[in-house]
């Protein structure tokens, strides 16, 4: 596929064929599958800050080394990525995608985000709120395409949380409490027990951190009003894309949507343009992540950024020290483990992020320009297929 942003992107046949099968059975209809969001890379190198695997300083230094001195830092919500295509009315839906609908919401794998009856309620509520606020008439558009994070995390990750986090945390806490108790009783009886006790007290603390972190992102959804949607990119309106707008503009649009509907929530952000603002962002990140929140995303202020003619990473995620316990294991901060993790190679992840970013933008451009369904859909298919190329899922 030829993209305006990146040039040619090649996806191997071996990855395309099984993806076509998946699209045939599991995703939303192809006419609605306009855009699949890209993966996001962490910092190119492990942090130089003692005790941290990831740190904002390294992301800032990366962009500055490429001549980018003005950046935006956005709070990273811990939910599930969701794409929203919202129409001004059912007739607009028929004109644009060929069926009467108020919109569609799907995941980063192209699957319907909610069960149909919940999706209908959410879409009707958002439609009423946006129409009441005059959004579609003000911007003279038949639709708005949004890239967002939808919370809470347990809306889509309930089974993952139970099998990989809750169960693991319960077992670790039980086992480590028991061992710590036995070691405490044996202190003084045998040489070396004291050091062993200190080690297991630290491991027990790690298990508690692990449990506390994933619980931060989960709450009971008793009514659909408990759902929160944080849109961070306004991708398109009728006849126009917004890749020329800086991320500060997208964040202000996020605030505008939060004023229109209670289902939308604001995203905190800060601008980095000098040493003082850089330190402010680092302190903000430290405070946020100490409370168990995931972290921040640092981006060049411009949506599309280049250095010496080459596309640079559109965004870098900087996850907190506590949060990484649920990614790399509850004892990842122990010196031996941290030293090993510092050798991780993210180059493949970075290349994948750039290719997927370009494919996503290309598909949106083609959709807005009214190109054929085949031309639009091949970009989404290419992004989905490229996910089949094995990359360390922890990155």
pLDDT tens digit string along 140-183? Answer: 999 999 999 998 755 555 555 556 667 677 777 788 788 887 78
Confidence of residue 244 (pLDDT cuts 50, 70, 90): very high
Q: For position 269, what pLDDT does the model report? A: 97
Q: What is the pLDDT of residues 258-267, one digit of tens each?
A: 999 999 999 9
Six token digits for residue 66: 């490429």
Q: Pick the more confident residue, 312 or 190.
A: 312
27-37 mean pLDDT: 93
Domain boundary among 200, 216, 232: 216
One domain for residues 275 and 361: yes
> What pLDDT, on the 0 to 100 scale, is given for residue 211?
77
CA nearest neighbour of 110 among 22, 208, 207:
22
Q: What are the pLDDT digits (tens) for 361-372?
A: 999 999 999 999
Residue 187's DSSP bridge partners are 190
- Determine the structural domain holding residue 193 and report its residue range: 156-216
Do 160 and 253 share a structural domain? no
Mean pLDDT of the chain: 89
The pLDDT tens digits of the residues spanning 299-352 come to 999 999 999 999 999 999 999 988 898 788 888 888 788 888 888 889 999 999
Which range in 42-46, 103-107, 334-338 is most confidently predicted, on average pLDDT?
A: 103-107
Question: Does the pLDDT of residue 188 top 90, yes or no?
Answer: no
Q: What is the 3-state secondary structure (H, E, C) of the chain?
A: CEECCCEECCCCHHHHHHHHHHHHHCCCCHHHCCCCCCCCECCCCCCCCCCCCCCHHHHHHHHHHCCCCCEEEEEECCCEEEEEEEECCHHHHHHHHCCCCCEEEEECCCCECCCHHHHHHHHHHHHHHHHHCCHHHHCCCCEEEEEEEEECCHHHHHHHHHHHHHHHHHHHHHHHHHHHHHHHHHECCECCHHHHHHHHHHHHHHHHHHHHHHHHCCCCCCCHHHCEEEEEEEEEECCEECCCCCHHHHHHHHHHHHHHCCCECCCCEEEECCHHHHHHHHHHHHHHHHCCCCEEEEEECCCCCEECCEECCCCEEEECCCCCHHHHCCCCCCHHHHHHHCCCCCHHHHHHHHHHHHHHHHHHHHHHCCCCHHHHHHHHHHHHHHCCCCCCCCC
Q: Is residue 35 part of a domain?
A: yes
- Closest among 392, 63, 373, 128 to 262, alpha carbons compared: 128
Do 64 and 89 share a structural domain?
Answer: yes
- Clarify whether residues 288 and 353 are in a common domain: yes
353 belongs to a structural domain: yes
Integer Cα distance of 86 and 145 in angstroms: 7
Give the residue from 165, 190, 216 where a domain finishes: 216
Classify residue 12 by burial, with Cβ atoms within 10 Å: 0-12, 13-18, 19+.
Answer: exposed
How far apart CA 53 and CA 61 sit, in angstroms, is 15
Strands 306-307 and 310-311: antiparallel
Q: Whole-angstrom Cα distance, residue 47 to residue 126?
A: 41
Please give the pLDDT value at position 177: 81
Token pair 């911007």 is found at: 139
Report yes or no on 336 lying in a domain: no
Greater pLDDT, 394 or 49 = 49
Residues 148 and 160 in one domain: no
The pLDDT of residue 69 is 95
Query: pLDDT-based confidence at 194, cuts 50/70/90?
Result: confident
Q: Which residues contact 366 (CB under 8 A, 6 or more apart)?
A: 375, 376, 379
Same domain, 262 and 297: yes
Mark whether 268 and 359 lie in a shared domain: yes
Please tell me which residue, 210 or 300, carries the higher pLDDT value.
300
Asked if residue 331 is part of any domain, the answer here is: no
Residue at 133 is within a domain: yes
Assign 381 a pLDDT band (cuts: 50, 70, 90).
very high
Provide the percentage of residues in the chain whose pLDDT is more than 70.
Answer: 92
Residues 89 and 189 in one domain: no
Q: Residue 337: inside a domain, yes or no?
A: no
In a domain, 263, yes or no: yes
The per-residue pLDDT for 276 is 96
User: Of 178, 198, 216, which residue constitutes the final position of a domain?
Assistant: 216
Q: Can you tell me the distance from the alpha carbon of 51 to that of 365, in angstroms, rounded to the nearest whole number?
A: 43
Residue percentage of the chain with pLDDT more than 90: 61
> What CATH number should be reported for the domain holding residue 297?
3.30.470.30
Same domain, 37 and 125: yes
- Asked whether residue 116 falls in the same domain as residue 188, the answer is no
Could you tell me if 235 and 348 are in contact, meaning their C-beta atoms sit under 8 angstroms apart?
A: no
The dihedral sign for the CA sequence 269, 84, 35, 365: negative
User: Do 164 and 71 reside in the same domain of the chain?
Assistant: no
With b meaning 16 or more CB within 10 Å and e meaning fewer, what string describes 121-155? ebbebbbebbeeeebbeeeebbbbbbbbbbbbbbb
pLDDT at 231 over 90: yes
Which of 51-60, 208-217, 333-342 has the least mean pLDDT?
208-217
Provide the whole-model pTM: 0.87
Average pLDDT on 94-102 reads 95
User: How many domains is the chain built from?
Assistant: 2
The answer to whether residue 20 is domain-embedded is: yes
Residue 97 pLDDT greater than 70, yes or no: yes
Are 114 and 25 in the same domain? yes
């Amino acid at each position: 596929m030829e993209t305006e942003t990146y040039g040619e992107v090649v996806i191997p046949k071996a990855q395309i064929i099984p993806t076509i099968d998946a699209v045939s059975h599991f995703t939303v209809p192809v006419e609605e599958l306009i855009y699949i969001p890209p993966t996001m890379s962490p910092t190119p190198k492990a942090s130089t800050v003692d005790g941290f695997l990831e740190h904002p300083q390294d992301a800032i230094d990366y962009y500055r080394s490429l001549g980018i001195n003005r950046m935006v830092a956005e709070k990273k919500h811990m939910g599930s990525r969701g794409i929203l295509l919202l129409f001004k009315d059912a007739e607009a839906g028929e004109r644009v995608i060929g069926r009467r609908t108020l919109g569609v919401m799907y995941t980063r794998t192209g699957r319907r985000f909610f069960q149909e009856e919940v999706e209908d309620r959410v879409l009707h509520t958002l439609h009423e709120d946006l129409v009441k606020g005059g959004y579609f008439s003000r911007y003279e558009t038949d639709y708005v395409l949004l890239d967002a994070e939808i919370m809470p995390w347990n809306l889509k990750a309930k089974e993952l949380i139970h099998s990989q986090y809750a169960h693991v945390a319960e077992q670790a806490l039980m086992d480590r409490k028991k061992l710590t108790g036995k070691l405490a009783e044996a202190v003084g009886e045998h040489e070396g027990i004291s050091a062993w006790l200190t080690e297991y007290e630290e491991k027990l603390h790690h298990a508690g951190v692990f449990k506390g972190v994933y619980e931060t992102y989960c709450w009971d959804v008793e009514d659909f009003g408990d759902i929160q949607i944080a849109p961070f990119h306004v991708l398109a309106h009728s006849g126009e894309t917004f890749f020329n707008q800086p991320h500060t503009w997208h964040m202000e649009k996020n605030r505008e949507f939060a004023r229109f509907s209670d289902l939308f929530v604001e995203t905190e952000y800060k601008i980095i343009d000098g040493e003082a603002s850089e330190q402010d962002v680092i302190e903000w990140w430290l405070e946020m992540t100490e409370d168990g929140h995931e972290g921040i995303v640092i981006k060049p202020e411009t949506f599309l950024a280049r250095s010496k003619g080459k596309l640079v990473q559109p965004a870098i995620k900087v996850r907190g020290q506590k949060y990484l316990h649920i990614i790399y294991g509850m004892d990842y901060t122990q010196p031996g483990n941290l030293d090993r993790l510092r050798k991780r190679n993210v180059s493949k992840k970075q290349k994948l992020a750039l290719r997927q970013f370009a494919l996503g933008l290309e598909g949106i451009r083609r959709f807005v320009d009214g190109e054929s369904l085949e031309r639009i859909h091949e970009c989404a298919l290419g992004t989905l297929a490229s996910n089949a190329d094995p990359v360390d899922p922890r990155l």
